[in-house]
Structure 1
Amino acid sequence: MNKRADQRLLDAARSGNATEVAAALDAGARVEARDSELRTPLLLAAVGDHVAAARVLVAAGADVNAQDHRADSPWLVTGVTGSVAMLHVLLPAGPDLKLRNRFGGICVIPASERGHVAYVREVLRVTDIDVDHVNDLGWTALLEAVILGDGGRAHRDIVELLLAAGATADLPDGDGVTPLAHAERRGFTEIADLLRGVS
């Protein structure tokens, strides 16, 4: 095991230096090397949205599903960053669409919460991800868009996208409260109207 080469690869991936990533691999670094938090080079590249570096790592056979000590994986992180470009780099590597993060969620849930419209649109278009997946909090992507969203245009668009993709409009949270009830409580009139339209 070449620890120096491994560290060189981890540092290059973290900084997004694709040329250095390739050089470190050529020098004997392991594509699945781990840092002190069990993050792989590909996860570091994904966190930083370093697309070129990620492309080199995927070509070298990096595991898109490798999870760190917080259960983050390169694929899951794209839902947090909202990077459509990274989504497309990682997709050919065979992401596990059912892999769960530390909250029991899949990538479309944090993306919906954070208002990443372009990402949600694309992940719904190019995968068969489960739009009704329920995380450990008892929330779906639709519920997170309403409960943790701000009711603005981005979250309205995401609610519309999820509904168009077949999300169950009246699937309640763990307390039995529906997305519509949450939207009404929060005064999100336009989102409530969207939800009523398919209820």
Structure 2
Amino acid sequence: MNRRRQKKLSKRLVEAATFGDSTQINALLRAGARPEASDAEGTTPLYAASVTGAADNVLCLLAAGALPNIESGRGAEGTPLCAAACWGHAETVRFLLAHGADPDLREDHGMGRSPLEWAMTGPYLETIALLLAAGARPHSRAT
């Protein structure tokens, strides 16, 4: 498949992950879209689905081989688990953890917040409990 077509498919897959449903995602994957490929802004489909809490889309992308610990964006986004935890999307957090997302992986190349730190910014008790049960450790930041 040529590079231009792959870029278009990647853009459409990120859009479907954000605004669409798993039927659209599956059609794009069958057409050759890669679940781990990012769009022109560096956004991965799994991150896009995670930040919106689209749990069915997250599960579809994970089943297709999307990697749960890959950072999205170019410094402005982060990991799918951090995105889901930030907004308290408990079902999405559950799916990501079940597919190998690291509950202690900090975003921004290890320099940013952890999923637990993000979850603690809001009233997301279920998300916090899921992360702690998965082995997330509260970190103290000595600065």
The structure with more radius of gyration? 1
**Which structure: greater helix fraction?**
1
Show structure 1 runs of 5+ residues with no match.
139-173, 175-199
Corresponding residue for 1:130?
137
Give deviations 1:137-175, integer Å, cap 9, x for gaps.
x4xxxxxxxxxxxxxxxxxxxxxxxxxxxxxxxxxxx4x
Q: Please give the residue correspondences for 1:1-199 in structure 2 after superposition, counting only pairs within 5 Å.
A: 1=3, 2-68=6-72, 69-70=74-75, 72-102=78-108, 104-125=112-133, 127-131=134-138, 133-135=139-141, 138=142, 174=143
Structure 2 Cα separation of the partners of residues 101 and 56 of structure 1 = 23
Q: Percent identity?
A: 30
Letter in 2 for 1:75: L
Q: Number of matched residues? A: 135
Pick 1 or 2: higher relative contact order, CA cutoff 8 A, min separation 6: 2
Amino acid at match of 1:38: G
Question: 1:16 touches 1:45 (CA, 8 Å); kept in 2?
Answer: no
Q: In structure 2, how many angstroms separate the alpha carbons of the residues matched to 1:121 and 1:6?
A: 34
**Cα distance in 1, alignment partners of residues 103 and 130 from structure 2:** 14
Separation in 2, partners of 1:16, 1:89: 18
Segments of 5+ residues of structure 2 without an aligned counterpart are none
TM-score, normalised to structure 2's length? 0.85
Q: Quick check: 1:10–1:33 contact (8 Å CA) kept in 2?
A: no
Q: 1:101-153, CA deviations, whole angstroms, 9 ceiling, x for partnerless residues?
A: 2463211112112221121122212x11112x134xx4xxxxxxxxxxxxxxx
Deviations 1:65-92 (A, max 9, x none): 1112125111111220111100111112
Q: After the TM superposition, which parts of structure 1 deviate over 6 Å for at least 4 consecutive aligned residues?
A: none
1:182 corresponds to which residue? none
